[in-house]
Structure 1
């Protein structure tokens, strides 16, 4: 295996940024856990501050440039609605089903993203890509078995309802990721973030007014509540700011595969920060996901070079076939070329004949 394509600058940046956003997701999970431990259950309100940061930060650049939108505004409104509801459904699922079931969210998002990118973005996946996905999913399955083995699985108050929320949330995440990939490649990253922040804040504010008004009024805003609230928003702001870069470099499938390692980083934090014991399967799973990411990201350059070489070979064969046809025609006494014949010959042969 040629490692030049594997360790190319593009792939290394994609892998590095993927793990950066994975750590950000891990930090948001711990922030949410801390808020939940304090009895604060307002998932949409947590997201609102993130959308406001996106709107003010990137909106300032958008206003300064004074350029018309590259994409129609209603695309961003629809994307924002999907994104807000995806976040809401996934957080809500924790109230009804087990941690193990929610972890399957990542696994379900990957085939959804692959199908959507193949269907709408016409993305072509080679066998190497599917192998990388399979290895990553195998690592996630090991995590699930580890939870079962360690008796960490709780039934939840309504597992069926929770599982349906997880499936719905994963599909919305897949649609959101693929839509962002399309918009960032066809449009502009600054515009995407500004409009996502603006419409996301509007949708979140409406939803908070309907579902979370009483919850917010009952919160006792101490430092212990404000710090994880703000920390969650800052981590999400960095996450949303980095995601379009990954989508442009590596695509939405690579993004979702990278996010699989967030569970593994959470395990490491549990070990070193909270001194908790974890099952040995976690370490094997972490290695499997890491290998899967490398396999998925590697080989792009090699495959592109092979494709170019095949195209050159096909072109050379076409020229040889044209020469053979010309020679055969000359042997039969057809030494003059018609205009139609010239169109099928390489230019250098036509000039030489004349």
Structure 2
């Protein structure tokens, strides 16, 4: 009755209610789609593709070494990378925290960093070793095992809660990878291996190590400065990798003819690896280990582009479809923000603020 007496008031009230309904209904998809073009989303997508390109570059240099010069020293190549990481980022740690701060990190968190370094070193070893026994396609297929492993580990250890859009994005990326593998298989590129069972087991072991390494690194960089995490990785991995090098590749190093191209390819490999290990913790802090691994799937497509130029490879019809699906999966994954980890932050020092992320990079 009151609204009927005051027509203008009624109209104004009705208009306000309609506006509220529009705000409640219309922005749902607008907000989700606009989230794809925020500075944060564009940054993590860009960083992910930088890392994917780094993977491609390191694979190219390793292939050039093996095919053109008969040099296959993956442990030695990794040793140089870990050594440079240790020198650079331990130096930054000493500059920022002092020698006492570095010793405190060793005393309080060395077990975490030793475990991280051991898993990372062995992940690299298993994956490279697998190519000596199994086919390229089997290795590519089994390498995608890292993604479901990372999601599972993130749920249990980082206490993340993914929603259906995240799972749909992962599924879309894996479909894109499956199309790439199927395309190679139908083209007859399933190169034979000497021992498929051993090679496949190495692939699964390497992919599992990568998943553990990524999740553990995310756990660490969300609590401690990135320079400390990478510096400790380089320090301990140099020791572990050096021992492994002395056992496995001492003879290969003595037999290498150190020509200019060989040295150049090794330097190029280590530059790519240095960028990869330097940018990875930034992406892991800004997004998640799952997004990190989804981004790396595009490295196979980039490898194809370089393969066309450097190794006379042929592009199959389904390759662009695979790439588009992989990028689409990354976009779908980012429609909703990545879940924040809810784990208890156990690495906070006595003078740290509990449950706070480190401010220093």
- State whether TM-score is above 0.5: yes
- Give the C-alpha shift of residue 64 in structure 1: 1.3
Q: Distance in 2 between matches of 1:244 and 1:174?
A: 14
Unaligned runs of 5+ in 1: 305-354
> How far apart are residue 6 of structure 1 and its match?
1.6
1:220 and 2:257 aligned: yes
| CA–CA separation in structure 2 for the residues paired with 1:276 and 1:196 | 36
SS at match of 1:186: coil
Instruction: Kindly state the Cα deviation for residue 76 of structure 1 after the two structures are TM-superposed.
Output: 0.5
- How far apart are the structure 2 equivalents of 1:295 and 1:149? 29
Cα distance in 1 for residues equivalent to 2:76 and 2:244: 9
Please name the residue that 1:60 is paired with: 91
Instruction: After superposition, give the CA deviation of every residue in 1:144-203 in whole Å (9 maximum; x if it has no partner).
Output: 101111100022011111000000000000000000000000112010010000111111
Q: CA deviation at 1:272?
A: 4.1
Partner of 1:103: 140
Give yes or no for the alignment of 1:28 onto 2:65.
no
**Contact preservation (8 Å) 1:106, 1:259:** no
Q: Is this contact kept in 2: 1:7–1:298, CA < 8 A?
A: no
1:260 aligned partner? 297
What is the aligned partner in structure 2 of residue 145 from structure 1? 182
Name the SS for the 2:125 alignment partner. helix
Q: Distance in 2 between matches of 1:23 and 1:116?
A: 26
1:170-249 residue pairs with structure 2 within 5 A? 170-249=207-286
Point out where structure 2 has 5 or more consecutive residues left out of the alignment: 1-28, 341-361
Question: What value does the CA root-mean-square deviation take over the aligned residues?
Answer: 1.5
Contact 2:172 2:329 in 1 (8 A): yes
Q: Which of 17, 36, 41 is the equivalent residue of 1:11?
A: 41
TM-aligned CA distance change 1:209 to 1:273, over 3 Å = closer
C-alpha distance in 2, partners of 1:99/1:222? 28
Distance 2:227 2:306 in 1: 33
Tell me the distance in 1 between the aligned counterparts of 2:117 and 2:217. 10
CA distance in 2, matches of 1:164, 1:293: 28
CA deviations over 1:121-164 (Å, ceiling 9, x no partner): 00110111001000000000001101111100022011111000
Find the partner of 2:79 among 48, 54, 66.
Answer: 48
1:96 aligns to what SS in structure 2?
A: coil
Q: Secondary structure at the match of 2:165?
A: helix
Q: Distance in 1 between matches of 2:296 and 2:324?
A: 14
Q: State the alpha-carbon separation in 2 of the partners of residues 252 and 106 from structure 1.
A: 15
Shift of residue 275, structure 1, vs aligned partner: 4.8
What TM-score comes out, normalization by structure 1 length? 0.83
Which SS does the other structure have where 2:141 is aligned?
A: helix
Superposed CA offset, 1:236-286 (max 9, x none): 010000000010011100000000000011111223455532211111000
8 Å CA contact retained: 2:142, 2:200: no
CA contact (8 A) 2:73 2:249 kept: yes
In structure 1, the partner of 2:119 is 82
Tell me the residue number matched to 1:116. 153
Q: Are the equivalent residues in 2 in contact too, given 1:106–1:256 (CA < 8 A)?
A: no
Secondary structure of the structure 1 residue equivalent to 2:192: coil
Measure the CA separation in 2 of the matches of 1:43 and 1:274. Answer: 21
- The answer as to whether partners of 1:23 and 1:265 remain within 8 angstroms in 2 is yes
Q: Distance in 2 between matches of 1:276 and 1:102?
A: 19
Indicate the structure (1 or 2) with the bigger Cα radius of gyration. 1
CA-to-aligned-CA distance 1:298-348 (integer Å, 9 cap, x gap)? 2229x99xxxxxxxxxxxxxxxxxxxxxxxxxxxxxxxxxxxxxxxxxxxx
